C-alpha cells in the first residue's frame, strides 16, 4: 500500500480521496464532510456558514445566495424588487423615505433622516468646502458649486474693488462729492456668492448678527446705480436688517479748504438734533452714533490747518458726525441712519447730505448760525430751501414714521 500522500508515512493507511491515500490524521486535517450531502470534500473547496456548518461548493451554491448589496453569500436572503438582499441589507431598502413616503426604492439613512436616492438628489447638495451633504434650502450657491451655512459663516472678509465707470452723469445727484456707504445686516444668506461678482467689500462686525457690506468710493449717478443694484440683490436674497444695524455714509471732503471744513463741521453741529428726527429713538440713543458733546467753540476757534488737524484728532470715532474719519479716509462719516436696504431711502440720504454740504461749505460762521438758529421746525424750513421740496416731503414722511414732526402742522380750522 502506498504511503500517506501528505506525511509519507506507511502506517495505518486506510483513507482514500481522489485516488490519493492518507493516514487518519492527515485526512482529518485536509478534508471535511459536507453537512448537506455528506460527501468528503477538500478544505480548499469548503464553505462555512455562521453556525460553523461546512458545505461543498454544489450544496453551498444551492443553499446560499449572494446579497446584491454587500456581496456576501447568505442563507437569510430576501428578494426585493427582483434583487436578493441579506437580512442586514434589506432593512435599508424597506424603510419609508421621509420625503416621498415610498419604500419601493432603496433608502439611505443620514443625519437628516431616511431618504431614497431620488429625493436625496433633489433636496440635498454637497458643500464644495467641507464635502458634507446639506439641504439645498440651507445651502448657498456660489460660482463653482454650493456652500453650507457653517462654511459660509466662516468665510473670510474681502475688500471692495475700484469703482471706475466709463461714463457718468450728475443729473440725479447734482453734486460732484464722492461718497461711500457701509450697510450693516442682520441676515445675509448667500452673501459669499457675491465675492467674485461685486465691487462691494464684506467685513465682520460683531455688534450685528449678519455682515457689513462696504462700497468703494462712489460718485455721480452711476454710484447711485451701484447702490440700487446691491439693494435689489439683497431684496432678491431676502436679506434683512434689525434695530442693531446702522448705515454709515462717508462723504469725501479731503480736497476742501480748512475754512470750508470748519463751516461744514459747524453746520452739522448746530443741526445735529434735526438729523435725529429722521431715525428711530433706539438709534438716536445708540452709543455707536453718539450725540456730539464737545463745545461749539472747538469748531469756531479753528483758523489754521494745524487747528483743524488737532480738532479731528480729538474727536471720537463713534460720534454721530464722525470727523475722526477725516484722518483715515479724508471723509466725514455720518453714522446716524438706521440700518436699511431700501435703495430709495439710502439714495435720498446721500442726495440730502451732498446738497447740504455743497451749500454750507461756502457760508461764513455767522451766516450758518443765523440760518439754523431756531427750533427744529425753523431748521427744517431752512433745510428745505437747500434740498428742495421733493426731498423735504420725503423726510417729513420719514420723521412721521418715527413719531417725530419736523414741519409745523397747517391750520385748517375756520375761525368763527
Whether residue 215 is found in the same domain as residue 356: yes
Question: Could you say which of 63, 89, 121 is where a domain stops?
Answer: 63
The domain total for the chain is 2
Question: Could you say which of 30, 45, 63 is where a domain stops?
Answer: 63
pLDDT at 67: 75
pLDDT at 411: 45
Is 117 a member of any domain?
no
> Which residues in the chain land under pLDDT 50?
411-416
Angstrom distances, CA of residue 165 to CA of 51, 158, 178, 179, 311: 81, 21, 13, 14, 35
Is 384 a member of any domain?
yes
pLDDT at 145: 73
Is 6 a member of any domain?
no
Is 72 a member of any domain?
no
The cell numbers describing 411, all together, are: 391750520
Whether residue 244 is found in the same domain as residue 372: yes
pLDDT at 193: 80
- Count of Cβ atoms closer than 10 Å to residue 176 Cβ: 12
Is 107 a member of any domain?
no
Whether residue 199 is found in the same domain as residue 323: yes
Domain span including residue 51: 15-63
Q: Would you say 383 and 268 are in contact if contact means Cβ atoms under 8 Å apart?
A: no
pLDDT at 412: 43
Burial of 407 (0-12, 13-18, 19+ CB in 10 A): middle
**What's the CA gap between 146 and 26, in Å, rounded?**
65
pTM of the model: 0.68
The cell numbers describing 377, all together, are: 421746525
Is 377 a member of any domain?
yes
Is 10 a member of any domain?
no
Q: Would you say 380 and 279 are in contact if contact means Cβ atoms under 8 Å apart?
A: no
Is 97 a member of any domain?
no
Closest by alpha carbon to 181, among 367, 395, 349?
349
**What's the CA gap between 208 and 219, in Å, rounded?**
28
Q: Is the dihedral of CA 398, 402, 408, 410 positive or negative?
A: positive
C-alpha 354: how far from its chain's center? 32
Amino acid at each position: 500500500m502506498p504511503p500517506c500522500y501528505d506525511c509519507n508515512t506507511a502506517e495505518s493507511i486506510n483513507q482514500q480521496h481522489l485516488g490519493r491515500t492518507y493516514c487518519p490524521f492527515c485526512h482529518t486535517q485536509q478534508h471535511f464532510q459536507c453537512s448537506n450531502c455528506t460527501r468528503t470534500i477538500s478544505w480548499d473547496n469548503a464553505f462555512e456558514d455562521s453556525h460553523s456548518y461546512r458545505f461543498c461548493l454544489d450544496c453551498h451554491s444551492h443553499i446560499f445566495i449572494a446579497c446584491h448589496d454587500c456581496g456576501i453569500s447568505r442563507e437569510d436572503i430576501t428578494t426585493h424588487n427582483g434583487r436578493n438582499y441579506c437580512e442586514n441589507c434589506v432593512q435599508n431598502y424597506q424603510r419609508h423615505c421621509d420625503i416621498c413616503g415610498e419604500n419601493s426604492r432603496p433608502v439611505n439613512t443620514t443625519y437628516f433622516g431616511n431618504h431614497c436616492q431620488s429625493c436625496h438628489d433633489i433636496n440635498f447638495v454637497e458643500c464644495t468646502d467641507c464635502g458634507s451633504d446639506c439641504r439645498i434650502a440651507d445651502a448657498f450657491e456660489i460660482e463653482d458649486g454650493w456652500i453650507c451655512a457653517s462654511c459660509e459663516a466662516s468665510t473670510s472678509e474681502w475688500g471692495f474693488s475700484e469703482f471706475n465707470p466709463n461714463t457718468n452723469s450728475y443729473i440725479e445727484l447734482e453734486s460732484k462729492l464722492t461718497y461711500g456707504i457701509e450697510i450693516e445686516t442682520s441676515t445675509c444668506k448667500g452673501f459669499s456668492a457675491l465675492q467674485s461678482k461685486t465691487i462691494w467689500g464684506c467685513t465682520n462686525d460683531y455688534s450685528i448678527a449678519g455682515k457689513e457690506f462696504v462700497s468703494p468710493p462712489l460718485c455721480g449717478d452711476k454710484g447711485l446705480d451701484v447702490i440700487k443694484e446691491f439693494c435689489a440683490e439683497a431684496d432678491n436674497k431676502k436679506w434683512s436688517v434689525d434695530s442693531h444695524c446702522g448705515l454709515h455714509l462717508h462723504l469725501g471732503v479731503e480736497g476742501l479748504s480748512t475754512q470750508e471744513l470748519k463751516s461744514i463741521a459747524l453746520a452739522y453741529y448746530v443741526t445735529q438734533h434735526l438729523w435725529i428726527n429722521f431715525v428711530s429713538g433706539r438709534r438716536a440713543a445708540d452709543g455707536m452714533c453718539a450725540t456730539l458733546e464737545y463745545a461749539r467753540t472747538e469748531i469756531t476757534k479753528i483758523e489754521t490747518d494745524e487747528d483743524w488737524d488737532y480738532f479731528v484728532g480729538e474727536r471720537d470715532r463713534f460720534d454721530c458726525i464722525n470727523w475722526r474719519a477725516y484722518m483715515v479716509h479724508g471723509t466725514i462719516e455720518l453714522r446716524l441712519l438706521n440700518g436699511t436696504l431700501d435703495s430709495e431711502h439710502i439714495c435720498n440720504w446721500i442726495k440730502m447730505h451732498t446738497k447740504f454740504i455743497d451749500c454750507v461749505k461756502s457760508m461764513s460762521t455767522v451766516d450758518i448760525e443765523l440760518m439754523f438758529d431756531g427750533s427744529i421746525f425753523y431748521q427744517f424750513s431752512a433745510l428745505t430751501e437747500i434740498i428742495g421740496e421733493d426731498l423735504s416731503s420725503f423726510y417729513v414722511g420719514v420723521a412721521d414714521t418715527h413719531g417725530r414732526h419736523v414741519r409745523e402742522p397747517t391750520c385748517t380750522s375756520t375761525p368763527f
